[in-house]
Amino acid sequence: MTINARAWIAGVFEHPRREIRDRSIPQLHAEVALGALADAGLDVADVDGYLCDSSAGFGAISMADYLNLRPRYVDSTETGGSSYLVHVGHAAAAIATGRCQVALITMAGLGRSGRAPSARSSGSPEAGFESMWGMSAISGYALAAQRHMFEFGTTSAQLAEVKVAASLHAQHNPHALLRNPVTVEEVLDSPVISSPLHRLDCCVVTDGGGAVLVVSPEVARDLGRRSVKVLGQAEAVKHTGNGRLDLTFTGAAYTGPEAFAQAGVTPADVDYVSLYDSFTITVVQTIEDLGFCEKGAGGRFVLDGALVAPEGRLPFNTDGGGLCNNHPSNRGGMTKIIEAVRQLRGEAHAAVQVPNCEIALAHGTGGSIGTRMGSATLILGREDA
């Protein structure tokens, strides 16, 4: 059994704020839950499946209590920033097998105002061999970028094109943290934080969150709101492979083919992509691994406005992405789903709405492409696609 068209996304909500000092994380979960329910035209009492990350206490147990839910299906799968794309796949499978009809997925965090839970290193089996070298999140991605440059001739100017495209989109998003378009030169002139990555190769750090409602086809049919079809989803962990780590590819190389096969579409069919953009190199490698170009050609692929909506070859992250708009609590997966749904509903900003957008792909990455990561690819279709 596949999940293809057996579950629909009926509601989404992105918290409009980017710096939030007057809310707790559980309260943010509640606000985005209510936002998504209102978007779909459903009530809290309709929810019979609940999925969330581990940001609030005992995950789904604490949050089901806070939200006063009675879920028949629960899941707190934790794969970092990719968690929410994993959750959509699990919710779709639960709906397809009759475990629930209305699955609510929430994420929230306070990464910007400094109340994010600390990184889990203590107790992890790798900590004893990785935590003593002065590694930061950006250093891990920098190691991958350096090797990609060495193997394929990728340049800093090519990576900068990713940030430029995101910034051109963000100027139209009134909620985006960074709304000023930037140039390749400005990216290259920004300080090197961990070579070869500059400050403007990095995503923003924000507070906030979002929610998604995955429902059965029967529930979707009775709603007055346009829904989008879940066509395919795949998840994977790519890790160091017993010390034989290959930095030139990401877990998208595992999830892309599986998600496309489930959905019955190919990269050429995709009209819009929400690509995880923790750093510019993340986007370049993901484009290659998902098959939008040959391995190693990602740096050349992103030139000439290829990522810029609506006319580029592969319009991406039209909300401004994590690079400019929102990356709540260092986790960009939820916002990737939400903008893909906006595109398929024709509700993106008019300046960046992809005409006749029928098939969209969202991809999430959690952890680090420099060590180990969770990866998830989600393929969605317009209501009538």
Partner 1 sequence: MTADHLPAPAPERTPETGKFWDATTEGRLLLARCDRCDAVIWYPKTYCSECGGLSVSWIEAAGTGTVYSFTVAHRGPGPFGEAVPYVIAYVELAEGPRVLTNIVGCDPGQVSIGHPVRVVFSDTGQGSALYRFELSTTSPSPGQPDA
Residues in contact with partner 1 by the rule CB under 8 A: 122, 125-136, 138-139, 142-144, 146-147, 150, 191-197, 240, 242-245, 247, 371
Task: Assess contact for 202 and 326: CB atoms under 8 A.
Answer: no
User: Which CB atom, from 62 or from 139, has the smaller least distance to partner 1?
Assistant: 139
Helix (H, G, I), strand (E, B) or coil at 284: helix
User: Which CB atom, from 333 or from 370, has the smaller least distance to partner 1?
Assistant: 370
User: Which CB atom, from 160 or from 247, has the smaller least distance to partner 1?
Assistant: 247
d(CA 322, CA 272): 16
d(CA 223, CA 257): 33
CB of 369 to partner 1, least distance (A): 12
CB of 141 to partner 1, least distance (A): 9
C-alpha separations of 146 from 85, 155, 159, 304 in Å: 28, 9, 12, 23
User: Which CB atom, from 133 or from 356, has the smaller least distance to partner 1?
Assistant: 133
User: Which CB atom, from 61 or from 237, has the smaller least distance to partner 1?
Assistant: 237
C-alpha separations of 5 from 14, 213, 233, 266, 271 in Å: 24, 15, 11, 16, 18
User: Which CB atom, from 65 or from 246, has the smaller least distance to partner 1?
Assistant: 246
Which amino acid does the sequence have at 221?
Answer: R
d(CA 253, CA 265): 16
CB of 244 to partner 1, least distance (A): 7
User: Which CB atom, from 123 or from 224, has the smaller least distance to partner 1?
Assistant: 123
- Alpha helices, DSSP H, located in the chain: 25-40, 60-67, 83-96, 127-130, 137-152, 156-170, 184-189, 217-221, 252-263, 280-289, 298-301, 333-345
Tell me which H or E stretch contains 107: strand 102-110
**Structural tokens at position 294:** 């040959």
User: Which CB atom, from 320 or from 370, has the smaller least distance to partner 1?
Assistant: 370
d(CA 199, CA 222): 47
CB of 21 to partner 1, least distance (A): 24
Helix (H, G, I), strand (E, B) or coil at 233: strand
d(CA 251, CA 365): 8
d(CA 238, CA 351): 37
CB of 187 to partner 1, least distance (A): 16
d(CA 236, CA 77): 12
CB of 239 to partner 1, least distance (A): 10
Rg (CA), the chain: 19
CB of 118 to partner 1, least distance (A): 11
CB of 160 to partner 1, least distance (A): 17
CB of 133 to partner 1, least distance (A): 5
CB of 145 to partner 1, least distance (A): 8
User: Which CB atom, from 127 or from 261, has the smaller least distance to partner 1?
Assistant: 127
E strands within 195-248? 197-198, 207-215, 228-238
User: Which CB atom, from 138 or from 236, has the smaller least distance to partner 1?
Assistant: 138
Q: State the Cα torsion 346-352-356-361 to the nearest 10°.
A: -80
Length of the chain counted residue by residue: 385
**Structural tokens at position 150:** 């060495």
